[in-house]
Structure 1
Amino acid sequence: MVRSLVQWTKTLSFPARISPNKSSKESVLSSPGSPTITPTPSNMSLSPPCKNEINNMKNSSLNEVNQIYPDPESEKAIMSSVVYCIHHKEGCKWSDELRKLKAHLNSCKHDAIPCIGKCGAQIPRVIMEEHLKTTCPQRRARCQFCNKEFTGHVFEQNHVGNCGYEPLYCENKCGVKVPRRHLSHHKVSECSKRLLPCRFCAKEFVADTLSAHHLKCGRVPVACPNRCDVNVLAKEDLETHLKEECTVSVLNCTYKDAGCRFKGPRHLMEKHLEESSQQHLALVCTVVTKQQHQITSLKSALSRLSLNYSGTLIWKISDFSDKMNEAKNKEGMELVSPPFYTSQYGYKLQASLFPNGNGAGEDSHISVYIKILPGEYDALLRWPFAHSVSFTLFDQSSCPEKACNIVESFIPDPTWKNFQRPSKEPDSLGFGFPKFVSHEMLKKRHFMKDDTMFIRVKVDPSKIVAV
């Protein structure tokens, strides 16, 4: 609001001015704290009326003598002082004489005046326009959604956030904007993300997935394709119905896989099984015979796949102590290795071991030998057998650097019968070392570990004489 000059200068004090009509000798005392009024001196004596006037003044109220008359010169000096606008901290740069301050404040854009909208607030002129547009409780505001007009106070307190025409995103995150007044109906009846129960299985699904669920729902009713007495049944029960219950379904004979080609209704199947038992038995026997041949063929193929074609055999002999005891009690006990080949189409070989020795090593050494067995490709190979052969007994020390293996090898003598092409009945012994390792040596190092030994039989691959 516009301030009067008195409001801005009320803290200023001015000296009392001496009245020109009063004598200095006729002083009138005022109450404590009040200024003294001194009459102007005069050479004439006081007349009775003047005395009466003085007496009347003495009897007058103390409030009447408290009036102060400013000194014109002091007031002029003060009003000529250069001052800043009282709003200089808010950004007003006005500066001039004090007497011009009132006039400036009447137009200063930082000075507060009553709101033009009559809301009762004191608003600086500079923000009056913004106040009338946005914050004045008495402004007129129009809702952008329903286009209705309200006062600012009513609009902010009651209408904002409650307008029924304001579009809102559905809370189910279906991506649709719906007016507030229709939102509840949308969520219940229209929203693609609302939960709906399947009318067949009663389980709840999101609305936009319900159609896909119906395609695979096991409780969807279907009709029997054979049009039997059962009109409707659940989809998940249809297979069982056709196999076990449908009275008109055409069934294949139980022995279909054996070769029976009968097809007929369920009520004729039992009669067919009774009348065709001999035929079914013959069919089954034929199948069994065929399967036996297949099994034999598969075993042979599996055996070929498991054969060793590398020319090197790592032979693991477990429970050696038991085998040694058995060999001591049973003369000539021989352990035989799995057969192996020098190559895929090479010589077929087999190693043998005598735990208690053989020949010169009997009762003191273990003996090892190599046998040449009749192979599938002997007709294509060169004879006599000319590959060098080595036997290695592995030292199973925990420190490989300190291991000390025992190795024995030989080069076949082409004049020996053992290395000629074998007949259907191979040599019972073969060729090797009767004194391969002594029984005492087996105990000195780690040739036996966990009662197991490993022997490698290696045919030198550098001498390939196969055609």
Structure 2
Amino acid sequence: MRCSGTATARGKSTVSRSGAGTSPSASGGESYASLRNFAKCQWRGKLRELEDHLKVCPFEKVACTNKGCPHTVERQHFDEHLAKECAHRLTVCKFCNQSIPHAMMKIHIEEHCQEAIISCTSPGCEKRLPRRQLRSHLSTECQAVEEPCSMGCGQMIRRADFGRHCVEPSDTAAHFAAFHGKLQGVEQELRRKDDLIEHQQMQLASLQSKVESNVRRGLQALDARVDCLAEDVRSQKTSSQSLGQSGAQGQLQRRVSNLEMDVHTTMRSQTEAKIVSGQQQSVCQEIAKQTDQLDLRVMELETTAYGGFLIWRIPNFSKLLDEAKRGIKTSHYSQPFYAGRYGYKACARLYVNGDGAGHGKYVSLFFVIMAGEYDAILQWPFNRRVTLSLLDQSPARHHVSETFTPDISSSSFQRPTSGLNVASGCPCFMSHQMLNSSAQQYLRDDTMFLKIKVETTGMENFTS
């Protein structure tokens, strides 16, 4: 029989693979079969050979072996389906050489592939570059990116227009007003701190006067009491000499016991006076500590930058290097700065004679996350790209820069639980030999300039 939708046999019964049932045949003899693919397959053979035939029949439908594909195709078209038709077949990305399901290739290239060539997302920038370079391009290079004016006028300015914006007469007035407002704020803070310090000094003077007066009166009273006791002792000695042994001994012992109690009381009063004097010194030390903290806070208000970067001037480099080599002071902290007006607070830490792997031969420069006023609304861990730069003071401007992306598993980039996190950066940032090179002027008039920049792109949407 042919390979068809039914099976017939010359004998007792017929077999149907398609579910049609059985039908009897009047003629006897050996069974023949023709099943399933009657419309296309011309095979005819014995029923016992049918299973073997179906394993190779070109018209038999088989399931696609690609993961996720639900289709079945005829065996003769199976290879073509796998190679050209199946939407779930793996194809190699022409940019990154990864194997991607064919149906997902367009999305992979348009949204995920880090090697795919894309256009800069800033309106007006025509540069095309690999997707993995886009963030760095936007944070440091793209001249079409708009950023808040670092002069404080509040406008969003394209990097390419910043120089012209700074000298425009109409904008200069806004810059002056912003600077004046900030200066007034600093002055108000200083006045408030001065008033607080003056108030604390008045309280200290009043407390000191009271303590001194009380101590003076107490000591005078104690001196008078001691003199009186001494006179009593002398009197008792005279009395004991004149009294008889029998009656005077008991009276004398009682008097001596009373005198001992008075002496103990006097000594305790002297101890209490010393304690009061020690408390006075402790209060003075605490007020001095608060005054130092106020001075530090005032310095921060005067020098803190909010533009996401810091220019750090390091004068007297030779002296600092000599002190570091002699172990007097090995590291220096910069003034703090913020990554945006309401962003992360950070500072830099400099080892002029190197630290760790750079000790003795390099300048080491590190980035430090500080506890800030807005940490509660920021996202943690910190994952913004950081660029550390040593500025060339010659006209060539061959600055040296190192950029790194934070390791979010490191404790250095978690939300600070105290004042400062552990510093992270470049132990071998700049060799002493290159620093003194005559080709560039990284040191001029014994002064160095460092720049620490935090990527602020999208910071306006970065708070939770």
Task: Give the TM-score category using the shorter length.
Answer: 0.3 to 0.5
Give the TM-score, by structure 1 length. 0.35
Q: Normalising by structure 2, report the TM-score.
A: 0.35
Higher helix share: 2
